[in-house]
Structure 1
């Protein structure tokens, strides 16, 4: 399991080749809400994708937030096609564990979701969150529109300034366009609803996001 502690991103040339389709079954509905976790989603809803450490606890935070219609966990930001969990943990796919959040912008803004994202993990830890070490635990915001990109970059700058003022290391969150989002295996989906006493990693800074500094053109 040497590569489970790998903290240097693999290059595209060294990444695992992957496969052309899933080798496991992806659930169609959310274990908690019964709603679909794969598109198409109802008209008017928007999608956000975040990486903030172990996706079990991260997903739980977002499915409980008012205005969130459905969630799912998966892998993004890498090179390997249709990876499985073991491959992602090897450090040889380039992916991070991520949460897909489908939300109603009439109820909760994208900016509020980004603020929550920054508050519930430590975005200064690089390729880790707490005791979880590896490139698959890195902090990331993966935008789907130019409006989301603008919000994400402004939020990163605002929270980075807050962190610096409190003596934290520089923020390491990557802000990048969303590439392919590969759904994780069935047992990972809404894991903490199935295993209430399961593992949660919330290596937070304890700081509140300065929402007054964030106008949200994506709302």
Structure 2
């Protein structure tokens, strides 16, 4: 299996029976990590390379209530990090964002997404290579889908004007979110000098 090719259902690794358990509270802000979340909050989900740096980008946004890292967009149920790294589960590393729409709108989260990575690299992000590092927006509502497509078209033009190529980001219906292991959650808060492979293009996305 190439690290640039997603597995079919037949090729995918077998499911695991036991879900990964994580801490109940967010290391940075003390808010809930698992459902139920307070009423009125909404959910967004993004894949933009290594989820350590991606999560930090979003927990810093005012109006974001909680963030969690995990795996989505694949086939295998309850995968481990080691499973995902094989490329045989089909999952991407993602960050799930729980936010208050009265304090921050979805368009602002999209702006953070686009500006925090290079969405033209296919199955990689910088030196991180493989299907788990692909760029994707997982939408929960028709409104999010419409906003995501509009922002992609806008940012594509901005990138072309700056000399970049075609965006490879996919926009998909939100699939099941599987938590990553607890040591991955808020990793850069626990390890301030830890690795962060994210690097934007320097192009702004004013959606």
Query: TM (normalized to structure 1)?
Result: 0.92
The alignment partner of 1:100 has SS state of strand
Looking at structure 1, the residues matched to 173 and 203 of structure 2 have their Cα atoms a distance apart, in angstroms, of 26
Looking at structure 2, the residues matched to 187 and 46 of structure 1 have their Cα atoms a distance apart, in angstroms, of 25
Report which stretch shifted further, 157-166 or 120-129.
Answer: 157-166
The yes-or-no answer on 1:9 pairing with 2:14 is: no
Looking at structure 2, the residues matched to 54 and 8 of structure 1 have their Cα atoms a distance apart, in angstroms, of 18
Query: Could you give the per-residue CA deviations for residues 6-53 of structure 1, whole angstroms, max 9, x where no partner exists?
Result: 11111111001112331x432221111111111111111100000000
Looking at structure 2, the residues matched to 144 and 56 of structure 1 have their Cα atoms a distance apart, in angstroms, of 23
The yes-or-no answer on 1:20 pairing with 2:2 is: no
Give 1:122 shift.
0.3
Looking at structure 1, the residues matched to 106 and 35 of structure 2 have their Cα atoms a distance apart, in angstroms, of 19
Looking at structure 1, the residues matched to 43 and 122 of structure 2 have their Cα atoms a distance apart, in angstroms, of 25
> Which residues in structure 2 correspond to 1:23-38 (within 5 Å)?
24-38=20-34
> Which residues in structure 2 correspond to 1:28-177 (within 5 Å)?
28-177=24-173
Give structure 2 stretches of 5+ with no counterpart.
none
- Give the root-mean-square deviation of aligned CA atoms: 1.1
| Structure 1: 4+ residue segments shifted above 3 A | none
Looking at structure 2, the residues matched to 30 and 203 of structure 1 have their Cα atoms a distance apart, in angstroms, of 25
Give 1:58 shift.
0.4
Query: Could you give the per-residue CA deviations for residues 157-196 of structure 1, whole angstroms, max 9, x where no partner exists?
Result: 1111111222211000110000100000000000000000
Give structure 1 stretches of 5+ with no counterpart.
212-219
Query: TM (normalized to structure 2)?
Result: 0.97
> Which residues in structure 2 correspond to 1:180-199 (within 5 Å)?
180-199=176-195
